[in-house]
Structure 1
Amino acid sequence: MPSTTVAVGSAVGLHARPATIIAEAVAATGSPVTLAVDGGEPVDAGSALMIMTLGAEKGTAITVDAEDQATLDQIAGLVAADLDA
């Protein structure tokens, strides 16, 4: 399972709006994806609520795990993007 670590790009972290955008993108892929903060348990990235439980602020390192590289690249790109813009 490929993984990568990216910094949260949204100005106020992974709150409701970015979490929903990420969860919807994961659901559209049909593949399981998890997100985790350093030292934390991975959460299902298909759930906006679970993403928000990470408490990730701008710049927080997030490890993204996915079944394939294309999905990994897509979701990691969303985590790193400023989804509040």
Structure 2
Amino acid sequence: MVKETITIKAAEGLHARPAAEFVRIAATAGHAVLIAKSNGNKVRGDSILSLLSLGVKQGEKLTIEVTGPDEESLLQSLITVVSGSNNR
């Protein structure tokens, strides 16, 4: 298992477009992916409704946890999607 915590810097927070791409990658990878806000509320990363239900806003911390083969590579791909080029 690998995990990393990032701060969302996008003014619109984690909105539908990056959330949908995150779910697409997580669902097709065959790994266990969990997302958590700093309050500890964890949701599955392969569910768009679960991910959007977190209501991640600008400045909030988000922890991504991946378990499975080649988990580090998948984690970095997922971080890139939710953070964009300037959100890390």
TM class by smaller structure = 0.7 to 0.9
Paired residue for 1:3? Answer: 3
Matches for 1:36-55 after TM superposition, within 5 Å: 36-55=36-55
Note if contact 1:6-1:79 (Cα within 8 Å) is conserved in structure 2.
Answer: no
Paired residue for 2:83? Answer: 80
- State which drifts further: 3-12 or 27-36: 3-12
CA RMSD of aligned residues (A): 1.5
Q: What TM-score comes out, normalization by structure 1 length?
A: 0.84
What is the Cα deviation at residue 11 of structure 1?
3.2
Q: Which amino acid aligns with 1:79?
A: V
What is the Cα deviation at residue 22 of structure 1?
0.8
Q: Which 4+ runs in 1 deviate beyond 4 A?
A: none
Q: Distance in 2 between matches of 1:61 and 1:73?
A: 16
Q: Which amino acid aligns with 1:3?
A: K
Q: State the structure with more CA Rg.
A: 2
Q: Distance in 1 between matches of 2:11 and 2:28?
A: 25
Q: Distance in 2 between matches of 1:18 and 1:76?
A: 10
Q: What TM-score comes out, normalization by structure 2 length?
A: 0.82
Aligned residues: 82
Identity of aligned residues (%): 29
Q: Deviations over 1:16-66 (max 9, x none)?
A: 222111100111212111110002221111111101111101232100000
